[in-house]
Structure 1
Amino acid sequence: MADDNIVPKDQDDDIIDHSELDPAEVPWRARYEFLKSHGYLLRPRYRPGWKPSWPPSERNPEYRYEDALLPLHSKRLDAHRVSDGQPVFLKLASGSSPEIEIARILASPTLKGDPRNHCVPFLDILEDPVIPNGVILVLPLLYRIDRPAPATIQEFVPLIDQTLETLVFLHDNEIAHRDCAFDNVMMDARALYPEGWHPQAYLRTLDFKKILAPRAIREVEHVSYYLVDFGLSTYKQSLTLGLAGQEPAPELSEKVPYDPYKLDVYILGMAYKRFFESIYRDSDFECLQPLTDFMTPIDPAARPTARAAYSYFKDLISKLPDEELTKRLVSHEGETTSERIWNDIEHAIWTRWLSRWTRKRTTEPLT
């Protein structure tokens, strides 16, 4: 997942010349005309003949000028789809990557139309004109799931529901994700950020002129969550090998085969757990701890299937009282007395009155 800083952390403002393309950016300039011919337009920085928009005397243009932004990852870049102006995400991959096979399987009419399928849709797969046997995956632009974070358990329910349902869908079709960790769960945030956001500076508008303030999740009709990054996925493999992945699951091994489906259940359970712990007080999520405990035994044989975990979750949520589902979650960093009073009043007003008549924002499905 990309860092939110405008400039990557390992780059030093004192030595970077933003008026010249970094060596890692040059191949993107070489792809500019090819991508344009296929309906995708890169930012001005990558157009042949680009000239910086800032004066030579500007010391730190990356804080004021959009075309001074460097990419957060050399193999990922943003573009706009010419046909409708929608921002898209470009990802370089090897033609032999498992992601290509999985993309084509998920794009089949039967699986693409399955309502349980909350996998990121692949909009296009292009042959890379620069790297032999390389491809460019065209994906919708998504956002990290913790900005804004859910304010109640009720707002958390769709996140868990959609991701667990997707795991059931994948496993029913003999696909194991193998890296469904926190950073590989993302959301369609268009309703939350109606002005859009800059793909290389998540807290800025597309034109880079304003700092973003998202709408609260309660103000939108629906938030769609997606599993992304199928680079480690397997198809029709009951056992697999490998140490790669964001979550250091106990069974990972290069020598001893393990069940990739039970691995998925563990990784997703840990994703929920890490999300909870990174933002909120432990006491706020005691009601959901049985679910994460159920999904994350050290022994893979003791873990449930994705379907059993999903059923367990549905049963658990159905038994929670409304006051538990709608109580306000508090950051583990705490809040002052005045902040607590204000936040409690605001939450109570919304929960009891405004939510009944406020028209919520909606968005069209990703295509």
Structure 2
Amino acid sequence: MESDDESLLSSASSTASLDDDDVNSRKAPNWCAYRHLLDRRGYRLDTCRDVKQWYQKYWEGMLAQGYDVTRDLPGYTRACSIKDENELCKDAGLPDNLFRGTHSPSGRKVVIKAVHICSREYDAVRYICSPSLRKSTMNHSIPVYDLIEVPADSLVFIVMEEWYPQFMYEVPGTLRLFLSALRQSIEHIVFMHSHNMAHLDISVHNILTDYKGHYAFIDYECCRRFDGAHTPLIKGIRSTDVPPELESGGWTDPYKADVWQLAVLILRACKIAGYNVPELVAFVRPMLHDDYQRRPSAASALRAFDAVVAGLHRERLDASGQ
């Protein structure tokens, strides 16, 4: 028999939309061709030497903590198989539009993303990272170091701080920390909506952490801005999870689509993290309403979420999940 959250998730199927134009599709640049340009801006793409050094430091840290390690890992083996240590060594686990690197002056690790200069993602990231928005405490987007335009090739390289996929690999240790991650996720969508933006691809895959209690959104490929539009409507989006009205080919309010996706995110995160919180299942029900007009706003959802958390006992908040 399905649990409440599983039955709610059953209607959250994934599908692709018809929106696949060239400007907003993923780019796969010849990274070698832009290596020197990025280097002049202070960013070194990972070489075979960098990859081997990373694995060696990782193993040293694991051994210091008393863990057994195996050196027979695909990434390390691949780096060792290339004779020239200065040759670029792309992470095979990343899509072709992403490359790992290092900020040369500071030694900080970065991830560089290539997008079209006219893409929705570049428009969204440039706006979110503007000085007036970046300082907002509600802005939980990944820190961006640099935006490097190459107009001749219609490309932009977005240089981001390297964060990590929390929910998919290491869940927060207590319910309190887990709820903090969820709250930051909801708060960022409230922030976006307050600036006439909809993310439209909210999922556990698109939220990262710095392992210091901070969470951030990535991937604004589906994002839309609606400056001057009081009641925007959309149809045919391509995203991880698609609301039922869009899946059937209809129209929807983009902000209410985000609310539906937030509900799916919360249920999936609970399942992955192993936290059974019936109050959250009840909380998300209105957010998953088939009639998008009857879903709450993101701001209303945040207030309701805070009310749920305020009603939980301290013992439950400090309890671990799995």
TM-score normalized by structure 1? 0.65
Aligned pair partner of 2:234 in 233, 236, 240: 240
On the 8 A contact 1:294/1:309 being kept in 2, the answer is no
Q: Counterpart of 1:166 in structure 2: which amino acid?
A: H
On the 8 A contact 1:241/1:254 being kept in 2, the answer is no
The reply on whether 1:114 has 2:144 as its aligned counterpart is no
Aligned to 2:306: 314
Shift of 1:26: 8.4
Identity %: 25
Aligned to 1:39: 42
Structure 2 matches for 1:166-177, cutoff 5 A?
166-177=188-199
Runs of 4+ in 1 over 6 A off after TM superposition: none
On the 8 A contact 2:28/2:97 being kept in 1, the answer is no
Aligned to 2:121: 99
Q: From the superposition, tell whether residues 272 and 60 of structure 1 become closer, same or farther in structure 2 (CA, over 3 Å).
A: closer
Shift of 1:110: 1.7
Q: From the superposition, tell whether residues 163 and 62 of structure 1 become closer, same or farther in structure 2 (CA, over 3 Å).
A: closer
On the 8 A contact 1:95/1:135 being kept in 2, the answer is yes
Q: Counterpart of 1:321 in structure 2: which amino acid?
A: H
Q: From the superposition, tell whether residues 26 and 235 of structure 1 become closer, same or farther in structure 2 (CA, over 3 Å).
A: closer
Tell me the distance in 1 between the aligned counterparts of 2:219 and 2:77.
Answer: 32
Structure 2 matches for 1:211-226, cutoff 5 A?
222-226=212-216
Aligned to 1:256: 250
The reply on whether 1:142 has 2:151 as its aligned counterpart is no
Q: Deviations over 1:191-242 (max 9, x none)?
A: xxxxxxxxxxxxxxxxxxxxxxxxxxxxxxx410001111111111521222
Q: Counterpart of 2:39 in structure 1: which amino acid?
A: K
User: Which of 1 and 2 has greater Rg?
Assistant: 1
The reply on whether 1:272 has 2:275 as its aligned counterpart is no
Shift of 1:256: 3.3
Tell me the distance in 2 between the aligned counterparts of 1:329 and 1:135.
Answer: 41
Shift of 1:178: 0.5
Q: From the superposition, tell whether residues 279 and 328 of structure 1 become closer, same or farther in structure 2 (CA, over 3 Å).
A: closer
Aligned to 1:29: 32
Q: Deviations over 1:296-335 (max 9, x none)?
A: 22221221100000000001110111122222322xxxxx
Q: From the superposition, tell whether residues 297 and 26 of structure 1 become closer, same or farther in structure 2 (CA, over 3 Å).
A: closer
Aligned to 1:295: 287
Aligned to 2:105: 83
Tell me the distance in 1 between the aligned counterparts of 2:48 and 2:140.
Answer: 33
Tell me the distance in 2 between the aligned counterparts of 1:254 and 1:109.
Answer: 40
Structure with more relative contact order (C-alpha pairs < 8 Å, separation 6 or more): 2
Q: Deviations over 1:325-362 (max 9, x none)?
A: 222322xxxxxxxxxxxxxxxxxxxxxxxxxxxxxxxx
Q: From the superposition, tell whether residues 182 and 26 of structure 1 become closer, same or farther in structure 2 (CA, over 3 Å).
A: closer
Moved more, 29-38 or 120-129: 120-129
Q: How many aligned residue pairs are there?
A: 261
Aligned to 2:13: none
Tell me the distance in 1 between the aligned counterparts of 2:320 and 2:154.
Answer: 51
RMSD: 2.6
On the 8 A contact 2:29/2:96 being kept in 1, the answer is no
Structure 1 runs not aligned, ≥5 long: 1-23, 48-58, 190-221, 331-367
On the 8 A contact 1:43/1:67 being kept in 2, the answer is no
The reply on whether 1:179 has 2:201 as its aligned counterpart is yes
Q: From the superposition, tell whether residues 185 and 25 of structure 1 become closer, same or farther in structure 2 (CA, over 3 Å).
A: closer
On the 8 A contact 1:185/1:228 being kept in 2, the answer is yes
Tell me the distance in 2 between the aligned counterparts of 1:169 and 1:300.
Answer: 20
On the 8 A contact 2:256/2:296 being kept in 1, the answer is yes
Tell me the distance in 2 between the aligned counterparts of 1:112 and 1:245.
Answer: 25
Aligned to 1:304: 296
Q: Counterpart of 2:158 in structure 1: which amino acid?
A: L
On the 8 A contact 1:152/1:325 being kept in 2, the answer is yes
Shift of 1:285: 2.1
Q: Counterpart of 1:106 in structure 2: which amino acid?
A: I
Tell me the distance in 1 between the aligned counterparts of 2:107 and 2:186.
Answer: 32
The 3-state SS of whatever aligns with 1:293 is: helix
On the 8 A contact 1:186/1:227 being kept in 2, the answer is yes
On the 8 A contact 1:243/1:254 being kept in 2, the answer is no
On the 8 A contact 2:222/2:237 being kept in 1, the answer is no
Q: From the superposition, tell whether residues 46 and 138 of structure 1 become closer, same or farther in structure 2 (CA, over 3 Å).
A: farther
TM-score normalized by structure 2? 0.74
